Amino acid sequence: MKRLVSEYKKRKNEIKRRLKEFSAFRGAKDEDIFSELCFCLLTPQSKAVYCDKAVKELKCSGLLFRGSKNIIKEILRGNVRFHNKKAEYLVGARELLGLGGKLNIKNKLDTKDTFKAREWLVRNIKGLGYKEASHFLRNIGLGKDMAIIDRHILKNMKRYGAIRKIPASVTKGNYINMEDAMRNFSKKVKIPMEELDLLFWSSQTGFVFK
């Protein structure tokens, strides 16, 4: 536990800076929020830095907002695993969130109840599970009390005794249970939940990202 607290002190300012950047998304344009959603759709079983690179390329070229599935998958190829399926997810999300040809994300999300917003995202956006929906909401400044449960987080939760064992698979039920366990651990070590998430992630990767 001392090692965790020591690591937190070392990275605390950097983590708080990153979270402040996420909070700025609350006033962002729908196109920027959609870009963040696309990043989260790409992350399963792929490296975050490569997903970010792919989204930036698609956004700068305008293909993120008007490109076909076939064109998008070629940009994703080599950077993102399962590029065919994920290109389909991006186009599907764009079609769902488009209204009269214009992106309309803010009006779709219940920003007063972020857990309801997460349920809506998981239920309506193909390719988005609880981890990805939580990741998206955190990255746009709305997921303060949510955990982004992935292998990095689970390893650290087990390492520090927050859970006894890592589940073989993460269903909705055990996702919520893992999230509760992390919330309780967060209170125990007196590190805010959203900061603990980035601390765990950076302890595995060596840097704070998103």
The residues that are catalytic are 131, 150
Kindly report the CA angle at 180 between 201 and 125, in degrees rounded to 5? 70
Q: Which long-range contacts (CB under 8 A, 24 or more apart) does 90-97 make?
A: 90/38, 90/41, 90/42, 90/58, 90/64, 92/125, 92/126, 92/127, 93/34, 93/37, 93/38, 93/41, 93/125, 93/126, 93/127, 93/128, 94/34, 94/64, 94/65, 96/124, 96/125, 97/30, 97/34, 97/37
List of E strands, the chain: 98-99, 102-103
Tokens of 86: 């994920």
> Is 114 in contact with 142 (CB distance < 8 Å)?
yes
Tokens of 59: 């956004």
